[in-house]
Structure formats: C-alpha cells, structure tokens
Amino acid sequence: MKRILLIAVLAGLLLAGCGPKRPVLYPNAHLDEVGMQVAQADIDDCIMKAEAAGANASDTGAAVGNVGKSAAIGAAAGAVFAAIMGNDVGRAAAATGGAAAAGSAVSEGFKSSDPASIHKNFVDRCLRDKGYEVIGWK
C-alpha cells in the first residue's frame, strides 16, 4: 500500500511541473491590430489581475476534498466486500481505501494543469473587455 501511495505522490509532483494552461485567442481585428506580443502581455496582465482578486488558478482545497472522499468510499466498499467474502474487514477496507485515495490523487494531478473555472472566467472576461475573443485554453 505504501508503494501505491508513493507512486501516486510522485505522479502528482510530475504533473504539477507541467506548465499552466493559457487562453487561446481568436484572430479578430483587435488581435491583428495589436499583434501577438501585446496580446501575450495583456494575457499576463489579466492572469495577474485574477490572482490579485483571489481567483487563483488552482483550487487545492477541492482536490484534497476529492481525494478524501475517494478514500472514504473505497474503505467502505472494501469493508462490504470483505464482510461478504469473509476476509479480514479492517485490512481489506484499508487497502481498498488506500488504493482509492491513490487513484484519486493521480486523477487530481491530471486535473491540476487545468485552471480553476473562476480563474478562467475572470481571465476570459478581462480579455474580452480588452477587445480579444478567447476560444479556449491550451
């Protein structure tokens, strides 16, 4: 079980090292007028404004909560399975809960490169106010 948890933590750390996603702009008249260098500076400005306003790119509280919920659900499922099969309930619950937590940690690590929706909405609106059209994040 310790090995699974270690693998999950390492996977999360590796994924956290991936660069953050940024908005992709539609090539409208405003973008053509100002050029990509100014547009990138405007994107940076909007990202900084979002962070200053408290619309952080990552929502670690939600990720921790999701991992905890998965562990609890996995432990309950392990206990039921062990009770039906007649195995050691405690060990099965702990193993299943640990596996669920590890799986959830890896899943949250994959999601970590996606900015929080409030952050994306803030940056999108800021850029729209500046004359840009955001078509997605990459």
- Percentage of the chain surpassing pLDDT 90? 43
**Average pLDDT in the 36-54 region?**
96
Residue 3 confidence (pLDDT) above 70: no
Strands 134-137 and 23-25: antiparallel
- Residue 93: strand, helix, or coil: helix
Q: What rounded mean pLDDT belongs to the chain?
A: 74
Per the CB < 8 A criterion, the answer to whether 106 and 11 are in contact is yes
Q: pLDDT-derived band of residue 20, with 50, 70 and 90 as boundaries?
A: confident
Residue 62 confidence (pLDDT) above 90: no
**Average pLDDT in the 24-33 region?**
98
Provide the pLDDT for residue 58: 84
